[in-house]
């Protein structure tokens, strides 16, 4: 039920917010994996879930990038003021930890693909 899940997330968030914790441990990853479906789908635990995902993201930049859509999806409905505030706090925290580029699209793959296309064009132009 939502009340129990919220209590679990509060405890998990306290553990994640420990200053001595520098990375996501296997136990924490397993805990997240067990709660993942509820975190992303249960609206009754949304605010604590947002904080949980942000705290995991602060420990791992790739995790933050992989789950950025969760923050922006919850920012769409501004009628839920407390949720919008929580999302904004989470995004600002992630910016402070990882920098503003944490939510950029991965342009390296696009850039590499364009280099391949450019080199193919050059090769076809040089064959006359």
Per-residue pLDDT reduced to its tens digit, 73-113 = 999 888 889 999 999 999 999 999 999 888 887 655 545 55
Q: Is residue 32 part of a domain?
A: yes
Considering all CA atoms of the chain, what is the largest pairwise distance in Å, rounded to the nearest integer? 72
* Residue 56 pLDDT greater than 60, yes or no: yes
Asked whether residue 93 is assigned to any structural domain, the reply reads yes
Predicted confidence at residue 78, as pLDDT, reads: 81
Structural domain boundaries enclosing 87: 2-103
Q: Is 60 inside a domain boundary? A: yes
Whether 123 maps to a domain, the answer reads no
Domain count, the chain: 1
Q: Note whether residue 79 is domain-resident.
A: yes
Q: Quick one: average pLDDT of 9-19?
A: 95
Instruction: For residue 96, tell me if it sits in a domain.
Output: yes
Would 118 be classed as within a structural domain?
A: no
Q: How many CB atoms lie within 10 A of CB 63?
A: 18
User: Per the domain annotation, does 74 fall within a domain?
Assistant: yes
């Amino acid at each position: 039920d939502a009340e129990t899940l919220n209590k679990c997330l509060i405890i998990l968030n306290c553990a994640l917010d420990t200053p001595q914790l520098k990375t996501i441990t296997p136990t924490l990853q397993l805990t997240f994996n067990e709660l993942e479906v509820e975190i992303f789908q249960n609206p009754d635990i949304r605010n604590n879930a947002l904080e949980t995902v942000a705290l995991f993201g602060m420990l791992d930049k790739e995790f933050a990038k992989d789950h950025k859509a969760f923050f922006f999806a919850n920012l769409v409905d501004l009628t839920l003021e407390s949720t919008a505030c929580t999302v904004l706090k989470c995004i600002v925290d992630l910016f402070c930890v990882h920098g503003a580029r944490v939510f950029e699209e991965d342009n390296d793959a696009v850039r590499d693909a364009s280099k391949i296309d450019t080199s193919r064009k050059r090769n076809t132009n040089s064959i006359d």
